[in-house]
């Protein structure tokens, strides 16, 4: 009699103990789950953007001669046509282009060459004369025009 009561009490305690443990561990698992989810999501987002912009893309800017908005279209189109170029922006006032490109696919000189092929002088390549002759009259820029890049005229580019 004594024995059976003891055993009964023990069983009840055991059951309560178990369910407390289960609830507790579920709460812990849920808390860990939420925390790690948050952290992983945040880290993943930060890493992807930084890696893709810093490791994969190279930025260059160099002088390109030109006159107007039509020149801008031609110059940027030529630069964007180079495989690996992700963006090109020519500044009509500064006579300068900013280009972002994947340096595993192309290099700065290829971009100079592509722009030169469209008829425009860059700091490192002379514009193709035939293409220059085919440019609209307003785009026939002065070959002595100063290109940006610290405002210095490169005497060897004509
Ligand atoms: Cu023009």
> 137 CA to middle of ligand 1, Å?
8
> 142 CA to middle of ligand 1, Å?
11
Distance CA 58, CA 117 (A): 22
> 154 CA to middle of ligand 1, Å?
21
The residue with tokens 């890049």 is 149
> Residue 56's pLDDT is what?
74
Q: How far is CA 129 from CA 4, 69, 138, in A?
A: 108, 20, 16
**Global confidence as pTM:** 0.61
| Helices 108-117 and 69-80, axial angle in degrees (round to 10) | 130
Q: What is the pLDDT of residues 90-123, one digit of tens each?
A: 999 999 999 999 999 999 999 999 999 999 999 9
> 12 CA to middle of ligand 1, Å?
91
> 136 CA to middle of ligand 1, Å?
7
> Which residues does 10 contact at the CB level (< 8 Å), separation at least 6?
none
> 90 CA to middle of ligand 1, Å?
12
Neighbours of 13 (CB within 10 A): 10
The H or E element containing residue 8 is helix 2-54
> 92 CA to middle of ligand 1, Å?
9
Distance CA 74, CA 108 (A): 18
Q: What is the pLDDT of residues 143-152, one digit of tens each?
A: 999 998 554 4
> Residue 148's pLDDT is what?
81
| pLDDT, the chain, mean | 77
> Residue 89's pLDDT is what?
98
> 88 CA to middle of ligand 1, Å?
16
């Amino acid at each position: 009699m004594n024995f059976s009561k003891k055993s009964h009490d023990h069983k009840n305690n055991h059951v309560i103990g178990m369910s407390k443990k289960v609830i507790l561990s579920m709460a812990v698992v849920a808390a860990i789950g939420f925390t790690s989810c948050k952290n992983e999501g945040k880290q993943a987002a930060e890493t992807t953007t930084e890696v893709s912009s810093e490791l994969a893309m190279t930025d260059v800017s160099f002088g390109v001669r030109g006159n107007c908005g039509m020149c801008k279209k031609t110059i940027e189109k030529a630069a964007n046509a180079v495989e690996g170029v992700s963006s090109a922006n020519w500044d009509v006032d500064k006579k300068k282009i900013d280009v972002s490109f994947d340096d595993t696919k192309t290099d700065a000189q290829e971009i100079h060459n592509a722009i030169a092929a469209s008829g425009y002088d860059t700091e490192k390549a002379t514009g193709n004369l035939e293409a220059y002759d085919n440019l609209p009259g307003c785009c026939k820029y002065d070959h002595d025009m100063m290109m940006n890049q610290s405002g210095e005229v490169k005497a060897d580019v004509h």
